[in-house]
Amino acid sequence: MKLMIIFWGIFLFFFCVPFPIFIYMMSEELATEPRNSLAVSYGYLGFSLLIWGYVIIFFINKLFITTFKEKNTIKSILRNGIPREAKIIDYKLLKYIAKKNMNLIQVTLSFPNLSNTVIEHKTMFHDSKPYKKRFDAGNKVKVLLNPQASKEPYFILSDQKVGFNTSGMILRIVFLVLLIAYVIGLYSYFYWRESFDFGWRFLTFMHPILFSGVMTIMYVLVFQLIFGRLLKNTKEERILFSGRNAEANIISVSETGLLVNNQPQIMFQVSFKDFRGTEHIAVYKKIVSFLKLSSIPKQGTIEIMYDEDDPKKIMIPRGV
């Protein structure tokens, strides 16, 4: 997944930065007269400034503000988090980092959530003291739940350390400086090259100043709408960490016709009673591997978890 994101990131970056400039320089003749009226040209200029302003603010938020907010959230959980004892059900070594004598591991934990429903959750983190074998299957660890179920992270280890990755922060600063320098350079170079004392009247929609910004905003939307959904499902995690469980009767199971990475989406329609005794009918959709299709229950009962405030929102934590 990481390599795929890097590949598509480089691919989309090419279409955002060098490609619009290359196409423009190869196809457009240097105009010595205004291309548009003053109003239209300044409309394009204002639109381009809005786009690049949004792009820069987006990256500042994602690279810095969100990081500082997450750090503050973790500090808050360390102070006010709800303690739980978690049992390690499964342990998997993903990578050994020899330089730091550290393991990247994946463990499956079992512990009561905010509603005291026992859940299972897979998580990845770095084990800085692998020689202690603290995270072997069968061991128990202390975790702290975030009392604010709407905020991530939903839980942390009780002895988790809070800090910044220095090299990572330097790379983020360098990226932001290069982005701002690119935008300033874009406006400066083409104004010097094409203004001819006519101001910004050389601008068109396909000009790199505007079109490069449009392509960059498309890049941002692709990563937000597609890769964000592939990497995590916030709604399901929120239900997992704060919801209640129930035994549900399966009404129907069918394929929706949607394929994601050649894997079908399955729709479950179930009925269940919440902890107050009120009956609900809800629908749950999930992408399932073809290898698991034969093992999906088509009738009978199945364990679900539901949002206490909105029981129509459900998830199936196991067996799918």
Angle between helices 166-194 and 208-222 in degrees, nearest 10: 150
Confidence of residue 235 (pLDDT cuts 50, 70, 90): confident
Mean pLDDT of the chain: 88
Hey, how many other C-beta atoms are within 10 angstroms of the C-beta on 201? 21
**124: phi then psi, degrees, rounded to nearest 5:** -115, 140
- pLDDT at residue 316 in the model: 92
The pLDDT tens digits for 80-124 are: 999 999 999 999 999 998 888 899 999 999 999 999 999 999 999
Q: Closest Cα to residue 24, out of 190, 195, 208, 183?
A: 208
Say whether pLDDT at 305 is over 90.
yes
316 alpha-carbon distance from chain centroid: 21
- pLDDT at residue 306 in the model: 96
The pLDDT tens digits for 146-198 are: 999 888 899 999 988 777 778 889 999 999 999 999 999 999 999 998 888 88
The pLDDT tens digits for 24-60 are: 888 777 766 788 888 999 999 999 999 999 999 999 9
Residues in the chain: 320
Q: Which long-range contacts (CB under 8 A, 24 or more apart) does 275-279 make?
A: 275/244, 275/246, 275/308, 278/311
